[in-house]
């Protein structure tokens, strides 16, 4: 077995183990939610006998460990179960919401990644100058602001005052591409502002750390401009940490959209999980949480593999 195949196998096994541990945490966490679906659906005026019969019909009278094993077995076989609140198949309920969340994450990435690379290059080119310090202040400020604050500021200026974009991102399966792009602009900008700073600072740090190397000095002695030295010689050798931080921020874009989706009432997976928690629809909460966890583990695995592929020295022991 080649070293890279062995490393990939180890990462996959570790990711599967992590996902199993996360499934335990998810299942245990939702069991601690106050109230239950029976009380939520039948109301507080229902008799204890009616509540008990309803819970039995849903399988909620089984021991916790049996319910967990039944749920885990269904997930392994690709069956997410049935929503207790609506009676719909969870897979059909989640699919359009997952598409909306992925579309929002893609839009945010399409905005933030190019701006982060450009901003990092500019900051490295004008390092220790007013431009560098101004960019540093902007990035630190964007990191400090929570998502809901950025969302409301953008909503105030771009939706309420300027009227450029809708304040609520109401989309469905019949929404056209142009209308969908318009609807997700504000939530995508919100997510882009939040993740932009991390990627920009990593780009700048990675580039500046390489500027003292001999091949950079050689390129300068040949008469190359500083911009060309950065783009042609420094940037390719700094791609490994940059790619890693980009992928990790993509993981955040997918799993960290809950607050943004709630603020803009965007029908994504985050909004679905919040609605399901309010209804005590435990199977839907478990399914959404597991999808978020799987996406995060998968993208972390991708980040590890990218760092290894771009730096072959990591494949060999020191």
Q: Answer whether 108's CB lies under 8 Å from 191's CB.
A: yes
Mean predicted confidence (pLDDT) in 118-126: 87
State yes or no: pLDDT of 187 exceeds 90: yes
pLDDT for residue 1: 59
Q: Answer whether 103's CB lies under 8 Å from 109's CB.
A: no
Of the listed ranges 53-62, 117-126, 187-196, 264-273, the least confidently predicted one is: 53-62
Residue 49, domain member (yes or no): no
Residue 127, domain member (yes or no): yes
Domain of residue 229, CATH code = 1.10.3720.10
- Determine the 3-state secondary structure of 89 from DSSP: strand
Residue 105, domain member (yes or no): yes
Q: Residue 290 is part of which domain span?
A: 90-315
Residue 205, domain member (yes or no): yes
Q: Is pLDDT larger for residue 156 or for residue 237? A: 156
Core vs surface per residue 218-243: b (16+ CB within 10 A) or e? ebeeeeeeeeebbeebbbebbbbbbb
State yes or no: pLDDT of 49 exceeds 60: yes
Residue 83, domain member (yes or no): no
Mean predicted confidence (pLDDT) in 231-256: 80
67-104 pLDDT per residue, tens: 888 888 888 888 888 887 777 888 888 999 999 999 99
Provide the domain count of the chain. Answer: 1
Residue 30, domain member (yes or no): no
Residue 256, domain member (yes or no): yes
pLDDT for residue 99: 92
272-300 pLDDT per residue, tens: 988 888 877 888 888 888 888 888 888 88
Residue 66, domain member (yes or no): no
């Amino acid at each position: 077995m080649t070293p890279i195949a062995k490393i990939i196998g180890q990462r996959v096994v570790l990711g599967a183990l992590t996902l199993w541990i996360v499934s335990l945490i998810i299942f245990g966490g939702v069991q601690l939610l106050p109230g239950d679906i029976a009380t939520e659906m039948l109301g507080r005026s229902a008799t204890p006998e009616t509540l008990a019969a309803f819970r039995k019909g849903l399988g909620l009278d089984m021991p916790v460990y049996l319910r967990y094993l039944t749920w885990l077995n269904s997930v392994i076989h690709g069956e997410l179960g049935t929503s207790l609140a609506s009676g719909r198949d969870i897979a059909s309920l989640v699919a359009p919401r997952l598409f909306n969340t992925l579309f929002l994450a893609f839009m945010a990435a399409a905005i933030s990644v190019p701006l982060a690379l450009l901003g990092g290059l500019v900051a490295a080119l004008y390092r220790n100058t007013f431009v560098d310090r101004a960019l540093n202040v902007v990035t630190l400020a964007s990191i400090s602001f929570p998502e809901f604050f950025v969302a409301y500021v953008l909503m105030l200026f771009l939706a309420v005052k300027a009227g450029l974009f809708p304040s609520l991102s109401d989309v469905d399966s019949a929404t056209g591409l142009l209308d969908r792009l318009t609807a997700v602009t504000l939530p995508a900008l919100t997510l882009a502002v939040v993740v932009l700073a991390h990627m920009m600072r990593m780009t700048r740090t990675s580039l500046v750390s390489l500027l003292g190397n001999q091949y950079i000095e050689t390129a300068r002695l040949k008469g190359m401009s500083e911009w060309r030295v950065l783009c042609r010689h420094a940037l390719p050798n700094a791609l490994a940490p940059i790619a890693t931080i980009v992928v990790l921020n993509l993981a955040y874009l997918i799993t960290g959209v809950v607050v943004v989706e709630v603020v803009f009432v965007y029908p994504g997976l985050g909004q679905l999980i919040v609605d399901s928690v309010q209804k005590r629809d435990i199977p839907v909460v478990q399914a959404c949480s597991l999808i978020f966890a799987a996406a995060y583990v998968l993208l972390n695995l991708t980040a590890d593999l990218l760092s290894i592929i771009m730096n072959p020295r990591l494949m060999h022991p020191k």
